[in-house]
Amino acid sequence: MTLHLINKSPARSSALNDCLSVLEFDNNSASAILLIEDAVYAALNRSSYAYLQEKIKSLAIPCYVLKEDMLLRGLHAGLIESFSIVDYAGFVQLSIDYNKVQSWS
């Protein structure tokens, strides 16, 4: 039950991809991913990150996007529908719902 915290855009970091590789290997569907800061770009629909979104879909794990960071970047729409939007209060709750929080950078 780990919440994986990703804070970099896939354009400049392999953090999300690395995290997904570990999760694939681990075969652990009890985990979740939260995209914060520049990582919110990974949730853009019709982006070149479709391969990452497919990986998340095939792992069948929840993926969340931090609302404040999304709005800061002007991403009001066009996010992948299967990703859920949470605010800071939701971020705090997720960190409690999962018993560990793993940060990737």
Partner 1 sequence: MQSFTLVVYGSPDTQAASTAYNFAQALLKAGHQIYRLFFYQDGVFNACSFNTPPQDEENLPASWQTLIQEYDLDAVVCVASALKRGIVNDAEAERYDLAASNLRKGFEISGLGQLIDGVIQSDRVINFLP
The residue type found at 23 is L
What span, in angstroms and rounded, lies between the C-alpha atoms of 47 and 67? Answer: 19
Residue 13 lies near partner 1 (rule: CB under 8 A): no
Question: 61 vs 101, which CB is nearer to partner 1?
Answer: 101
Distances (CA, A) of 87 to 22, 27, 57, 59: 26, 28, 22, 24
Considering the rule CB under 8 A, would residue 47 count as an interface residue with partner 1?
A: no
Q: Does 61 bind partner 1 (CB under 8 A)?
A: no
Q: Is residue 37 within the footprint of partner 1 (CB under 8 A)?
A: yes
Among 2, 7, 31, 53, binds partner 1 (CB under 8 A): 7
